[in-house]
Amino acid sequence: MISMKEKQEVIIRHYRDGDPERKISRELKLNRGTVRRYLKEYQLARENLKSAGITDETLIEEVVKTPKYNSENRGRRKLTQEINAEIDRLLEINEQKRNRGLHKQAMKKIDIFEHLCEKGYDIGYTTICNTVREKENKRKEAFIRQVYQPGDVCEFDWGEVKLEIEERWQTLYMAVFTPANSNYRYGILFQRQDTSSFIQAHVIFFQHIGGVYHTMVYDNMRVAIRRFVDPTEKEPTQALLKLSVYYQFKFRFCNIGKGNEKGHVERNVEFIRRKAFCEVDSFTSVESANLSLQKTCNRLNTRYNCLNNGKKAIDLLAVEKQYLLEIMPPFDCGEMEQCKADKYSVITYRGNRYSVPDHLAGKIIDVKVYPEKLVCYYENNIICSHERRYGSNGWYIELDHYLNTLRIKPGALAGSQAMASAPDEVRKIFEKYFSHVPRDFIELLIFLRDNDYDFNRVIKSIKKLNDICPKNISLDTVKALCMQDSLLTSGIKDTSHIEVDNEDQILNHSRKQLEELNMLFN
């Protein structure tokens, strides 16, 4: 096929300069038949235009049209009907897999090409790509724009965010809510994409806006769908059912592979993540990252948006609030689990170990799991709580849980995991003043626990003793000063009238120490 420039030169040289076809063919290195054909087409087009006597766009285009091959009667030599039928079969299998949620296991063009080659077909990869593209384009669907009523529909989705928390890169999960009518944006970061985080995200969002949307929309996420009954029917999880019953909202799921059915939140996950963390991605804690995220959402919601007809999302939300369902008291988002306390009196949850009081070793403990904490129960009574940790193989021990055992085995205190996990100020005071008398330190901790005293009382008492008589720091003097501090706090200055059981020698002795110390201070 010659170019438009070559066609122009052929026509000019023949009709204006009078060069014969042979000379033009030789000098332009074109086939003589090609030269003759384009000259004949040009002459015929000009005669038709002159005979018409009017301005006809079709005839004019015929005169100046770009040269091209006539491929109307030319078929594909290697793409046979047999190969076409096999490609159709493979594309149909792909469609069935997508309907079952297995879109990641569908065959790509290269897989179809390799499959045909293994079956002995002689076909090129480019031909396969063009054929598959043509067939898939024929299957494209049209979309119907929806109109949403205020307070009716809100969409939910998860998005991954990689941030540096305490100088360590972590993958966090951002729960994003977007009402379809107002396009209001709200996001919260969690350490896990689990059921308790899913529930707590809804509780926080409903409390934030002061109401509940009539319908919530989800994709095919595990925390919302228990199992697929068939490609069009899904069985919701118990957590979603409970949440729906409590807040009285309806819910629906998108079809498999149809993220456009919740397009508002689908776009906003990427948009919020980029706006919030494209410049700053290092934080001291997840809480500080969440504060930054909230500031970004507030900024986005208070600016004018062309998608909202030039209105602010915060103003549209104010209108929507009139149509929302009534807000309920916050739903308890904890998940109940059962763990057995081992011989070290620890329970194991998600690879981490948490201590419980030592008298419960070997017992079954009920644990209510929240995104930020674990609350432990025994026989329906709260026994302790721990901050939830998201690392692995960690030991999170409270020294107070082992005091009864350590009273019997005081020598085990110094090298114990309980002491290693204790706060720095506890370890320092033990090592400096009580390392040679561990039993006294254990008795001191039991004294604090029984009287519901904070360890800061010990620190204050030792500081006072260091100022007065640093050589007289012992169990009795520290206990006496702790009692004095408690009495002064409650407004009692004179301790001489305090009655003490005469049978308790330790308390009698402490009382005497207290009286002596009072004399020193006065």
Give tens-digit pLDDT for 388-441. Answer: 998 888 999 999 999 999 999 999 999 999 999 899 999 999 998 898 999 999
pLDDT for 502: 41
Contact 320, 183 (CB under 8 A): no
Mean of the pLDDT values across residues 122-141? Answer: 82
- Greater confidence (175 vs 96) lies with 175
Tell me which H or E stretch contains 225: strand 225-230
Mean of the pLDDT values across residues 3-8? Answer: 80
Question: Is residue 323 scored above 50 in pLDDT?
Answer: yes
Question: Is residue 339 scored above 70 in pLDDT?
Answer: yes
Phi/psi for 46 (5° steps) reads -70, -40
Cα–Cα distance for residue pair 357/355, rounded to 1 Å = 7
- % residues pLDDT > 70 (the chain): 82
> Does residue 465 sit in helix, strand or coil?
helix
pLDDT for 498: 42
Q: What pLDDT band is residue 199 in, cutting at 50, 70 and 90?
A: very high
- Average of per-residue pLDDT values in the chain: 83
CA atoms within 13 A on the CB side of 385: 12
Task: Return the CA Rg of the chain.
Answer: 40
The CA–CA distances, whole Å, from 493 to 87, 336, 435, 521, 522 equal 94, 49, 33, 12, 11
Cα–Cα distance for residue pair 313/327, rounded to 1 Å = 21
What is 177-224 written as a DSSP string? EEETTT---EEEEES--SHHHHHHHHHHHHHHHTSB-SEEEE-S-TTT
DSSP character at residue 71 = -
Q: Which tokens sit at 503? A: 């049978």
Q: Which of the residue ranges 92-96, 293-297, 305-309, 349-353 would you say has the lowest mean pLDDT?
A: 305-309
- Nearest CA to 476 out of 486, 461, 488 is that of 461
- Greater confidence (447 vs 50) lies with 447
Cα–Cα distance for residue pair 514/394, rounded to 1 Å = 42
Each as own residue / partner, the long-range contacts of residues 357-363 (CB below 8 Å, 24 or more positions apart, any chain) are 357/383, 357/384, 357/401, 357/404, 358/401, 358/402, 358/403, 358/404, 358/405, 359/404
Mean of the pLDDT values across residues 282-290? Answer: 93
Cα–Cα distance for residue pair 176/172, rounded to 1 Å = 13
> Does residue 505 sit in helix, strand or coil?
helix
Cα–Cα distance for residue pair 485/490, rounded to 1 Å = 9
pLDDT for 258: 55
State pLDDT tens for residues 27-42.
888 888 888 888 888 8
